[in-house]
Amino acid sequence: MARAVLALNWRHDYNDTLGQTFVSSPDHRFRIGMNQLDPGAWWRISAAREPLGPPQWMAGFSKDTPEELVAAVTEALHFPLRRPDWTGEVHPALQEGKFDGDAFLDTLVAAGWRNLGEPHGIRRVQSPDLLARVELRRDANPLDLMGNCALAVYIGPEEAGDPYWQALFTADTPALVTDAFARALADPAPVQRDGEWMDEHLLAHLGYTLTEHGLAPVTPAYTDEDLTRAAAKSLSTLLAAADGHLEINDVLAELADQPLPSTEAGTGPHTTWGQLPPEQQRLAAMLTLDLVMDSARYSHQLLGLDDAPAGQVWQHQTRGRVPAVPIADLRFTNEDLYAAAGTIAAHMIATTDDPSGILEGCYGEPIASRANEDTPQRHWDQHPDHVAQPAYDEICRRFTAAYDSAGDFFAPGMPQPPALVAATPAYLAGPGHTAASTPAHPLLAAGWAHTDTPFNDMYTSPCGQIRTTELYEAGSASWSTVYTDRATGDQLWHFTADERTPVEITTAVHAALATAQATAPADLRYPALSGGLEPLAEADWFMDSVPGHIVWTAPGGEMASIGRTTSTAALADGANPHWRVSGGDLQPGGQGWYIEMADRAPRLLLTAVAAALASTEPVARLARQIPHEHRVYMDIVPLEWQTTPTQGDRAAAARRRPLDGKAATTAGPQPTDPPRTPLPAPRRRTP
């Protein structure tokens, strides 16, 4: 570095006692000292308006300051003296003028440095690699160089304590000097160095280490794919918690003016989400959040990673009551919900102004490429700031950039799990999404009397002998029917369906009851001596029997059965003879269901249950309500819709109905559910 000063050909003085060298300009107004006692200003420049007078300003540089930077300052001081037209007027570095430290920092900001604001009256900027920072102290003492100087440049990680090197300037340092230093500091041109003389930490930042054989590259702290995976993990975390970030009303407000794509194809005016009936809007908002949360399973695909979706479909679901809107009345389709979900996903990304709270989660995670290493730097938060912060910034950038392609979460080629589905068999499809009173419709249509109480609804046949009760249980309802002898008051038979019984089965039973009571009431009084299960035989159900028990099992043992316990077996167990029907997983905590009927149940009840069990017609469902443990044994396809314009809604063509349950789609991506897998035997539990 001495070359930068000695090349000035100014006057040199050497102090033998302290080993210090001083260089003075010919007019003795500028003085440069080397090997000063304070290591923070090993190089010191002072300038005075009068020869050998008190300093007007000072600058100091530590010993390891790059010589190119010191040379930039000394060259700026010496250049005016070399001009041919120099006449000895006041040197530019000594002219009266206002100190402009902001211009110094603005030069660096223009070169890509980050402005860190001005907390406590000190403006700070930081280099992109976090290895350099500059502080501007506006109220500094004009001649304070080593305490709290006006302008300070520190090089090295802030957390390391002492900087690798520093440069200090007092308040009246002229722009001639500070501008020259700023330009040199921000200059991106590489410089040549002997690696053996470089600081080992700076070498590591450049990706090298010094070995006995010379410089050798070190393994990068992270790869480009690591950055993408961290961004994908953060994006997944955000989407999985969608219903924690947004409420239903927030979704409704964001979607209110968005048209439904399914209504834009015609020539008439389109329909917006805000024009739908309120309960349909709320259901659509809930299903939209479901889709957004489910997309957390495959958000990495949006960022170019080709891993398979992670986790279980519909693992995350919007909390709250599901509006009881019959699916046949819905005026929106799966495609409409996909478009809405893309809008909400983009909205969530865009409104995450500071993703730091979300991205903090990735800091404690292992770096993907080093997850299996047993090294001290396998996690993001184990790296120093100058290594981790650039990675953090790039992760933030990739996270934010996902906004532009958020709609692609639900585009063709992505998993596209349908929120509205057609499913078979019905006995595994869950209780169904419908108004709670739907199974009672056949009874009401046949003129049965309805009595409403706070805890249940009762429906009584016109003859007064049959009473069906709907008992409310935690947002669902079980059903019970009792036939009573008019003369004696004795109960002749009963039918009970628990709260998880598919609505199609309960409705079929009630329809059979209503029809028989109106047309052949005697058929309800007498038990079935034989027959009634012919639909099961026609559907290839398997019958087996042991003494006292007869069981019909679904083909392949697919989690459904209907059985009868005879008088002999029942008496041995101290119970009454009865029929028992079950479907699904009946293990503790499972989502299976069961029906019990007295042994004297009439044949028409058996036939209604058997026909409903044997039916191969798909049933319409919200995908979120199909039990997870049943899905692998089912055929589940997106629900297709057809437009049926009515006179009052013909222009918008907005009213739709499902295609009679036959909703298999032949075009576009298929749902993510695996093919059906038969069980070796049905699983049952004892109620």
Would you list the DSSP string of 94-137? GS-----HHHHHHHHHHTTPEE---GGGEEEEE-TTSSEEEEEE
Looking at residue 1, what is its pLDDT? 47
Instruction: Give the pLDDT band (50/70/90) at residue 434.
Output: low
Percentages helix, strand, coil for the chain, rounded to the nearest 5? Answer: 35, 20, 45
Q: What is the pLDDT of residue 377?
A: 67
Paired residues of 135 in beta bridges: 124, 152
How many angstroms separate the CA atoms of 223 and 237, rounded? 21
**What's the rounded Cα separation, in Å, for the pair 121 and 137?**
7
Task: Find the helix packing angle between 101-110 and 175-186, rounded to 10°.
Answer: 20
Report residue 589 as tokens: 């905590």
Which of residues 342 and 78 earns the better pLDDT score? 342
Q: What is the pLDDT averaged over residues 126-140?
A: 90
pLDDT at 575 (0 to 100): 62
Kindly state the tokens that stand for 454: 């706070």
Q: Residues 212-263: pLDDT tens digits? A: 777 788 777 888 999 999 899 889 989 999 988 899 999 999 999 999 999 8
d(C-alpha 6, C-alpha 620), whole Å: 89
C-alpha distances (whole Å) from 439 to each of 468, 505, 610, 662, 669 are 11, 9, 17, 22, 34
Report pLDDT for 21: 82
- Tokens found for residue 533: 């299960």
Give residue for tokens 């009963």. Answer: 494
CB contact at 8 A, 442 and 511: yes
Place of tokens 């917006």: 272
Q: Nearest 5 degrees, angle CA 632-CA 638-CA 642?
A: 155
pLDDT of 283 > 80? The answer is yes
pLDDT of 677:
39
**Does the predicted TM-score (pTM) go above 0.75?**
no
Task: Report the range of poorest mean pLDDT among 242-251, 355-364, 484-493, 606-615.
Answer: 355-364
Alpha-carbon span 345 to 409, nearest angstrom: 8
Question: Does 156 or 641 have the greater pLDDT score?
Answer: 156
Q: Are 310 and 298 in contact (CB under 8 A)?
A: yes
Distance of alpha carbon 128 from alpha carbon 386, whole angstroms = 9
DSSP state of 88: S
Phi, psi of 587 (to 5 degrees): -70, 160
Mean pLDDT of the chain: 83
Least confident of 81-95, 96-110, 249-263, 628-642: 81-95
Tell me the percentage of the chain whose pLDDT exceeds 70: 82
DSSP 524: G
pLDDT, residue 76, reads 86
Other CB atoms closer than 10 Å to residue 208's CB: what's the count? 17
For 581, what's the count of Cα atoms within 13 Å in the CB-facing half-sphere?
A: 30
Residue keyed to tokens 């679904």: 554
Q: Of 333, 360, 356, 325, nearest to 416 (Cα)?
A: 333
Q: Compute the distance between CA of residue 499 and CA of residue 470 in angstroms, rounded to an integer.
A: 10
Give how far the C-alpha of residue 538 lies from the chain's centroid of Cα atoms, to the nearest Å. Answer: 48
When mean pLDDT is compared across 53-67, 457-471, 503-517, 543-557, the lowest value belongs to 543-557
Determine the average pLDDT of the residues in 105-126: 92
Residue 368: which pLDDT band, with cuts at 50, 70 and 90?
confident
110 confidence band (pLDDT: 50, 70, 90): very high
Is 649's pLDDT higher than 50? no
Question: How much is the pLDDT for 220?
Answer: 79
pLDDT of residue 443: 95
DSSP state of 314: T
- Report the alpha-carbon distance of residue 655 to residue 262 in Å, rounded: 11
Residue with the larger pLDDT of the pair 209 and 37: 209
Give me the pLDDT at residue 466, please: 95
Which is nearest to 388 in space by CA: 407, 360, 413, 409? 360
DSSP 512: H
Q: What percent of the chain has pLDDT over 90?
A: 43
- Pure H helices in 473-532: 503-519
Rounded CA gap, 345 and 403, in Å? Answer: 8
Residue 420, pLDDT above cutoff 90: yes
